Structure 1
């Protein structure tokens, strides 16, 4: 690993360097609890001769002397805010990081909010106390600076650091992994494009589901359930579900068909004739396919964000009327009912992924009966009950997986519930629907 530097550095020395926030970085997301915790720690340890705050990973750009922040952006920005607010004279520190042009509205709002929190926390200090605290932060607080001259290695180091226990969301770890997979086969502009879409997906501007929901409650669960495995919780411990093969490096025979399809799509889109008619072809993803590392992974996630919206979000969604008619009832927001609805939506999405809108309304009825039968059988529904129902060998997801024609899914018979265990108003309604749907198939 091409480590240029690995040594403790004072905050003063770190902030004096030419630090930059690259475009592939996630937004600044520290909440008040994180800021308050950092300030509490600093106040608690300010009598010590030295206090270490963690590690920062930097990438040294070969074309200039700028150090891009790979890991540690949240802490460095917060420390910059703290030092700037403490530094009333303006002579002890300048903070180039805060001069960065932030494009994300999330970053801007969090910086404003956290600046107010810091100002309030230190507002009661006297001038001497502020200077003493600033001196402690600048000259006695340290971060381990790890600087690498290879961006791929920097991401790998970042990945290994977080695998040892630092709390990062699984989608952040996957972003780092798949960006690293793109390093040898893509231009920087292409990587920045995918990172931009990724960050927008985390906090979408419209009513579409966010990226974490799509990955954790749909893609992760479908991929696991189809394999007959548990799909309860998506975390950093099972992100391998979204890691696959690098097409530039694999030599396995089973990958030949994937390579051929990928080549066909690339050839079509780079054909000079396509520049004339402006036609493009998207990669034909399947939810349970082998993951293609790198840009195809990013495209895969965006594809299913769009599919979820097309099926379920807004008045123009293909199943908007069905959802309004059948999934909105007194008690539909109970935790168990939310789990059942998620199972229903996953089953519909899995069918649509394979057969498109062929007989979609009829299949939605079957998916509804199969999913909501749990609501009639069980008085209390936990995610474990939904999990067991979803991965069952005789379940609907397995039937869709095996089906070659849509008619095979239409022939699936959800279990008929004759005597529900309890009969509140919601269950009577669902029971009637289940019997009505069941009698028509």
Structure 2
């Protein structure tokens, strides 16, 4: 067995080697940091890996592994930055192979392989259980299992090791053809967590972020909603971007900034930038709480609004409404006061266009709300916009009778039932619904 020495030091901070699995697993103390995403491989990816190992000749190359070398209690630990899905699956393979008494002795040298890794996320636990059962059945034949272990030990990896976390992240292989491409929210989490040195804080924010993946209830926004249907479109629209979809393509660059020259930027509200770390998660949690507050506060009313399950990258009218409400609440704490007039303006375009993916009016409002100094400015703007909406609707000759079977009818009826005493704008629907 070869001895691994990456020879990393202050002048040589990156090194790479091609080594077989036997050497990797028995010589290196590997650890999967908490900021990594959950174990997401399904049977499809597991089966592909099993086939690659089973059909290997003279040591198949199973891709690259990115490691961050750290010192802990005078021991050298290698944190897995990229490759955790493959390495975790191989851990399941070794566990399944250990069911054969004939292989137990051979497997002892791998007792320390990922032995202190814990998977607290339910997504990881569910996938581990399903994949392990599949692997155990796949390797149930003892002769097949013996040959498989020999093949596994001879498989090879390109190992890239570095002492700098930033370099490790730059090398992050997010296009591994054998696995699942990392999503923008995975990269954002890794970027901000990898810089937190306090283990207690790292675990806290890692668990908080992972909790946002869970579908708890209708009033609990998940990470996809927060990033791709609120934070990213809001920031881009304020800056004047014309982008209306595929926000996941720009999410990482928008929320992860490499260099602020060590100077703290002025608090710019939702446009604030954070190099990395604790402040970003506080920023995320702030808007998550506001978003959740508005959903809970208005849940009985919102349930009458048509909220289709559109693609993550596409915004519908309700998303536009929520963007404006959260922005107003974060600045002026007046979301309840302006809900009726805001909804009147935002949903007018939904009516005129007769389609769900049309947050145009919301997009036109966002920049005005962000730069407003007083809540009264927003209220006057909505009054002006409401009058214009009324004119456009009358000009287009849109009537509620023409939309008797449209989901929008329910919205209009409920709108007036709940807000007739508050609404400022009187338009033709108020008379139409009484006919």
The answer (yes or no) to whether the contact 1:348–1:364 under 8 Å persists in 2 is: yes
Give the corresponding residue for 1:322. Answer: 301
Deviation at 1:293, TM superposition (A): 3.5
Find the counterpart in structure 2 of residue 439 from structure 1.
Answer: 425
Match of 1:361 among 316, 332, 336: 336
Structure 1: segments with no counterpart, 5+ residues? 259-284
1:146 aligns with 2:129: no
> Does residue 1:52 correspond to 2:61, yes or no?
yes
Report the equivalent of 2:229.
Answer: 217
Q: 1:379 to 1:323 in 2, by over 3 A?
A: closer
Change in CA separation of 1:66 and 1:342 when aligned onto 2, cut-off 3 Å: same
How far apart are the structure 1 equivalents of 2:175 and 2:127?
Answer: 27
1:397 to 366, 370, 395: 366
- Structure 1 Cα separation of the partners of residues 53 and 250 of structure 2: 31
Q: What pairs up with 1:175-214 in 2 under 5 angstroms? A: 175-180=189-194, 182=195, 187-203=198-214, 208-214=220-226
TM, length-normalised to structure 2: 0.78
Counterpart check, 1:427 vs 2:408: yes
Query: CA separation of 1:399/1:78 partners in 2, compared to 1, >3 Å: closer, same or farther?
Result: same
Residue 143 of structure 2 is matched in structure 1 by 128
CA contact (8 A) 2:352 2:398 kept: yes
The alpha-carbon deviation at position 168 of structure 1 amounts to: 0.9
Q: 1:12 to 1:389 in 2, by over 3 A?
A: farther
Cα 1:303–1:227 shift into 2, 3 Å: same
2:329 is matched with which residue?
352
Q: Relative to structure 1, is the Cα distance of residues 64 and 348 closer, same or farther in structure 2, using a 3 angstrom cutoff?
A: same
Separation in 1 of the partners of 2:119 and 2:272?
37
Q: TM-score, normalised by structure 1?
A: 0.77
**1:76, distance to aligned residue in structure 2 (A):** 0.1
Q: Provide the rounded CA distance (Å) in 2 between the counterparts of 1:439 and 1:236.
A: 39
Structure 1 residue corresponding to 2:256, chosen from 232, 243, 255: 243
Deviations 1:191-244 (A, max 9, x none): 333223222323366662222321111111111122231141232544211134
Q: Does 1:377 align with 2:352?
A: yes
**1:333 matched to which residue of 2?**
308
Pairing partner for 1:106 from 123, 140, 147: 123
Deviation (angstroms), 1:99? 5.2
Is 294-303 or 234-243 further displaced after alignment?
234-243
Query: Match for residue 303 of structure 1?
Result: 286
Question: CA contact under 8 A between 2:257 and 2:275: conserved in structure 1?
Answer: yes
SS at match of 2:64: strand
Between the aligned partners of 2:235 and 2:125, the Cα distance in structure 1 is 36
Aligned length: 385
- Counterparts of 1:42 and 1:390, CA distance in 2: 53
Residue 20 of structure 2: aligned partner: 10
Alpha-carbon distance between aligned partners in 2 of 1:407 and 1:92, rounded to the nearest angstrom: 75
